């Protein structure tokens, strides 16, 4: 493997036509050299539509794009596309999900039809394939999730750490929400994704050879004596990276017996909402009837401040500190009342 190439990765937010043109070119070149696909039927209008899709999706809140550029020449050498499924959206744009299929599906259809498969047969196969993709996502993912729909690297710069840099960027863009990331990928990329804690959850394969006409039937040329070579079997690996809760949040939840005071409950609720995490029933760690831990010892500010991702937790820290000081003020007020009562006696 070649040494790592110094690259910078950044979010792509402005529909710069020159950059988009490079993104489409890299996409074509990457799939043209792919050992499975080896594009021979690149349809120009599909590539134009892909450029239009990128320009449109760049500004959408549910989409994120990232590009990798060389530090020396600022040349675009790879890019990624993410699609987020938030609760406010009833469905994720299938057009964005199929960004990776702008070349793959036309190639698959062209190869099938060149060997005698009818338009209706290919249409049914493609629809079946898309349903399988969607069914696998719905089976493996919660309502809120993220799809890594595209990750491509210029063949000239492959095996130099560019894909890893882009994947690291994708994870950094999703970890703030603790969203699981779903990807459909060829088996050859499995090692890369496993390196970043992706796990295979399903698989789908499509063998066009099983649908080809019998020898001598429709599609076989007159006078043909030798059978053409078999078509490649398309195999997709479905892989998911389930992002854990922020370590500091886990430490906060596991280092204390949850106090019964309303202020503490509201503080934790606010923290969970900022992390977009699901609320879970509370159970005393020491068992039923256990002595609640003091609020002062329940929160360790240094643990939160030392967390790798500080943006959300730093905003949440005043909530926790406020609840602790409020508890202290409440305790002080009770002591004061007790002293007054004792004085009256």
Render pLDDT for 104-156 as a digit per residue (tens, 0 to 9).
666 677 777 778 888 888 878 877 877 777 787 778 777 778 888 888 899 99
User: Which band of pLDDT confidence, cut at 50, 70 and 90, is reported for residue 273?
Assistant: low
Sequence-separated (6 or more) residues with CB below 8 Å from residue 28: 39, 42, 47, 103
pLDDT at 225: 52
Lowest mean pLDDT among 5-9, 88-92, 229-233: 88-92
Q: Across the chain, what does the average pLDDT equal?
A: 67
CA atoms of 194 and 269, how far apart (whole Å):
33
pLDDT at 331: 46
CB 219 within 8 A of CB 191: no
Token pair 């130099």 is found at 160
Tell which wins on pLDDT, 147 or 255. Answer: 147
CB 245 within 8 A of CB 200: no
Element (H, E) at 184: strand 181-185
b/e for 112-137, b at 16 or more Cβ within 10 A? beebbbeeebbeebbeebeebbeebb
Instruction: DSSP letter for 144, please.
Output: S
User: Which band of pLDDT confidence, cut at 50, 70 and 90, is reported for residue 272?
Assistant: low
Asked if the model's pLDDT at residue 328 lies above 60, the reply is no
Tokens in use for 46?
């599909």
Tokens in use for 229?
């070579």
User: Which band of pLDDT confidence, cut at 50, 70 and 90, is reported for residue 269?
Assistant: low
User: Which band of pLDDT confidence, cut at 50, 70 and 90, is reported for residue 326?
Assistant: very low
Over the stretch 19-38, which tens digit does the pLDDT of each residue have?
999 998 898 888 776 655 55
Domain boundaries, the chain: 7-210+228-241, 247-344
CA atoms of 237 and 259, how far apart (whole Å):
45
CB 190 within 8 A of CB 239: yes
Tell which wins on pLDDT, 328 or 30. Answer: 30
CA atoms of 226 and 210, how far apart (whole Å):
18
Sheet holding 233-241, edge to edge: 7-11, 63-70, 76-85, 145-153, 181-185, 233-241, 199-207
| Residues composing the chain | 345
Tell which wins on pLDDT, 290 or 214. Answer: 214
Tell which wins on pLDDT, 45 or 99. Answer: 45
Lowest mean pLDDT among 102-106, 181-185, 287-291, 338-342: 287-291
CATH 3.40.630.30 at 7-210+228-241, yes or no: yes
CA atoms of 40 and 106, how far apart (whole Å):
10
First to last CA, the chain: 85
Tokens in use for 95?
């057009």
Over the stretch 183-197, which tens digit does the pLDDT of each residue have?
887 777 888 898 888
Q: Taking the model in full, what pTM does it have?
A: 0.60
Asked if the model's pLDDT at residue 11 lies above 60, the reply is yes
Tokens in use for 172?
């950094």
Tell which wins on pLDDT, 244 or 5. Answer: 5
Q: Is 242 exposed, middle or buried (0-12, 13-18, 19+ CB in 10 A)?
A: middle
Element (H, E) at 273: helix 262-274
- Residue 217, phi then psi, degrees to nearest 5: -90, -165
The mean per-residue pLDDT over the stretch 240-261 comes to 53
User: Which band of pLDDT confidence, cut at 50, 70 and 90, is reported for residue 95?
Assistant: very low
CA atoms of 60 and 340, how far apart (whole Å):
62
């Amino acid at each position: 493997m070649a040494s790592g190439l110094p690259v910078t990765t950044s979010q792509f937010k402005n529909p710069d036509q020159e950059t988009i043109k490079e993104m489409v070119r890299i996409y074509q070149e990457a799939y043209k050299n792919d050992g499975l696909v080896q594009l021979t039927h690149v349809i120009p209008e599909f590539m134009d539509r892909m450029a239009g899709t990128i320009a449109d999706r760049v500004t959408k809140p549910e989409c994120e794009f990232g590009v990798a550029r060389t530090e020396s020449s600022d040349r675009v050498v790879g890019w990624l596309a993410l699609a987020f499924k938030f609760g406010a959206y009833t469905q994720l744009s299938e057009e964005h999900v199929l960004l990776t299929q702008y070349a793959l599906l036309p190639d698959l259809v062209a190869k099938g039809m060149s060997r005698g498969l009818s338009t209706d047969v290919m249409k049914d196969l493609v629809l079946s394939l898309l349903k399988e993709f969607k069914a696998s996502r719905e089976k493996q993912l919660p309502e809120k999730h993220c799809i890594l729909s595209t990750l491509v690297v210029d063949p000239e710069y492959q095996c130099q750490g560019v894909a890893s840099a882009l994947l690291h960027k994708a994870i950094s863009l999703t970890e703030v929400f603790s969203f699981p990331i779903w990807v459909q990928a060829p088996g050859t990329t499995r090692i890369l994704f496993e390196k970043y804690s992706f796990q295979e959850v399903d698989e789908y394969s499509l063998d066009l050879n099983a649908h080809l006409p019998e020898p001598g039937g429709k599609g076989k040329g007159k006078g043909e004596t030798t059978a053409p070579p078999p078509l490649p079997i398309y195999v997709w690996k479905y892989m998911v990276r389930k992002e854990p809760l922020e370590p500091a949040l886990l430490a906060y939840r596991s280092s204390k017996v949850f106090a019964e005071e309303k202020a503490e409950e509201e503080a934790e609720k606010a923290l969970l909402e900022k992390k977009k995490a699901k609320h879970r029933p509370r159970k005393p760690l020491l068992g039923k009837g256990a002595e609640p831990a003091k609020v002062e010892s329940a929160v360790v500010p240094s643990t939160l401040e030392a967390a790798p991702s500080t943006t959300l937790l730093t905003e949440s820290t005043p909530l926790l500190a406020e609840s602790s000081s409020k508890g202290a003020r409440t305790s002080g007020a009770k002591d004061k009342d007790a002293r007054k009562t004792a004085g009256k006696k």
